[in-house]
A and B are shown apart, each in its own frame.
Chain A
Amino acid sequence: MTTIEEAKNKRRQSRQLIFRKMLPWLLVLPILLISITVMIGPAISSFYYAMTDWSGFGAAKFIGLENFRLLLEDSSYKEALLHNLLWLIYVTTIPIAIALVVASLLAPLRRFGMFFRTAFFIPYVLASVVISNVWRNLLSPTKGIGALLAKVGVPGLDQAYLGNPKTSLFAIFFIDNWHWWGFLMILFLAAMQNISPDLYEAARIEGANRWHEFRYITIPGIRPTLFLMLLMTSIWSFLVFDYVWILTQGGPAGGSEVLGTLLFKNAFFNFEAGYAAAIGLTMSFYGGIFILLFILGRRRGWDI
């Protein structure tokens, strides 16, 4: 009798022990399964589909690296990649410069600092579809800001910025940046507030002017944040989609076509899913180059 009870007890205890050991993994299992199904599995099969002539439906025929050879010949791909590279130049200069300057203007403020931070952050929380529509109206050549300026005697700015292949990409970037720089500024400001005020005090005693303070204290002080954001925006500049698709769908005449919109058209309009998967791989690859440079730079001891 007692031995049976003991045996039962022991079994229960060992079951509990197993459960306790399994518990940590049981708790991460749901999110692991979901992310493998949604992201890892399809990401891996992208490598296979990129080497097929798959339409998106039914069977896929293996064609090796043919899609990548076609990419090299595809003039619309080259043009889109060029636009992504332009976008890379825009996002790693203009918003970074604005955010740096504004953050250093805002950092020494004692009053209304919170008000300005809120005001500059608000555009970041708004939806891309709404921002796009607001600015499409404001940039209208007949009813927008340019038209108003022409009416009061400042001619020449009432252009169809979004409707001109030469200006559409930059116009889209301008609108995207309107919602982006404030966010970047808050990041830089938070990093600046971690810089010891003693450094500025010492610099002032040494007779440093504002530029010296900015160049030799502020910039080195926020370097980790600065480089991280340069890395992230570089990666993202190959993935842009929302604002381009909403505002112009890549037009007019391919003037703002980027890899993201090209992939979208190939996958869902032209039914060239294999080709689209190949485009997606190259987009990820370009971003990967920047991650690699970042890691290599760190290994070589660069302070980034």
Chain B
Amino acid sequence: MSILFKKRRNVTLVPNYVVLILLTIFALGPLVVLGFNSLKDSAELGSNPLGPPKQMILENYPQAWEQGNFSTTIRNSAILVVGTVAGVLVFGGMAAYSLSRLKMRGSDALIIYLLVISTLPIQLFLVPLYSLWRNLGLLNNLFGLILIYIAVMSPFPIFLLRSYMLQLSPDFEDAARVDGANEWQILWKIVIPLSWPGFLTTGLVVALGVWNEFLLATVFLTNENLFTIATSYFQFTRRFGVDWSLTSAAAMFMIIPVLVLFLIFQKPFIEGLTQGGLKQ
């Protein structure tokens, strides 16, 4: 009986594979075309806009790097990523520690507060925030945008870190307390080392979010020298939109670091993004 079923299943899985392979072409084909086009000169692009390059040309890359001002924009984006990740991990980690390991009064209210702010649409506070930031001199200021990113991106990491810390056995802490360790030492020597997968996951998710973010970077950084890699790429495609080889090479600068990191840290990435990092 069971052999019969197995046989039936093996036969019926063929259509599954056919559909899935077609969808793989749909999902990855555009990226392959992007890679191809980054290696063609404009003459070849005119006659062959979708196929593989007849001869590989690498000149688009240095040219796109130069024209797209990538040395500046990558630095800006790197500062935003590092600052936001550090802020979210430190402040979010502190809050998660407080919510999970210390018997904090009012922690339920705080969790509700975090749930509420995680669903607040950016458009609800964007306009007054813009004017507040202008009055505080934080427009066109990387630090000013880092503060916004920390606020907007921290609720989910706090929940995730809290769930990691709740799983830790209290025995280690109790033992350390008996040995005279204070709360800081317990946090740094015990809780953080034991919940580091949570920190890695949230760090990756936040870094990806900042690297790709568009709306807030467009509004709060309008000075060309402070453009992020995303907003400058947008301007770049508007200026050089007809030159596909150039815009394709520029796109590669933006997606290669993401793809490399994603393929290395696939498991924490997918886990972090699907476990409630539900932001489009």
Contact = CB atoms under 8 A, between A and B. Distances in A.
B86 interface: no
B123 A239 contact: yes
B19 interface: yes
Interface string A239-270: 10110011000000000000110010001100
A56 B30 contact: no
Contacts of B274: 183, 186-187, 190
Question: Binding site of B, secondary structure by majority: helix, strand, loop or mixed?
Answer: helix
Interface string A96-122: 000000100110110010001111111
A20 B234 CA distance: 50
Question: Binding site of A, secondary structure by majority: helix, strand, loop or mixed?
Answer: helix
Contact of B130 (A27, A260, A267): A267
B55 interface: no
| Range class of the A interface residue count | 35 or more
Contacts of B255: 126-127, 130
Interface string A152-173: 0000000000000000000000
A38 B126 contact: no
Given A129-B237, A232-B278, A42 B20 contact: no
Interface string B114-151: 00010111111111111110000000000000011011
Given A102-B23, A105-B19, A34 B91 contact: yes
A210 B11 CA distance: 14
A121 B270 contact: yes
B121 A122 contact: no
A35 B151 contact: yes
A38 B269 CA distance: 27
Contact of A134 (B5, B34, B130, B259): B34
Contact of B152 (A38, A112, A116, A121): A38
A28 B50 CA distance: 53
Contacts of B152: 38-39
A222 interface: no
Contacts of B17: 109, 112
Contact of A280 (B31, B124, B266, B270): B124
Contact of A42 (B30, B102, B125): B125
B172 interface: no
A135 interface: yes
B16 A106 contact: yes
B199 interface: no
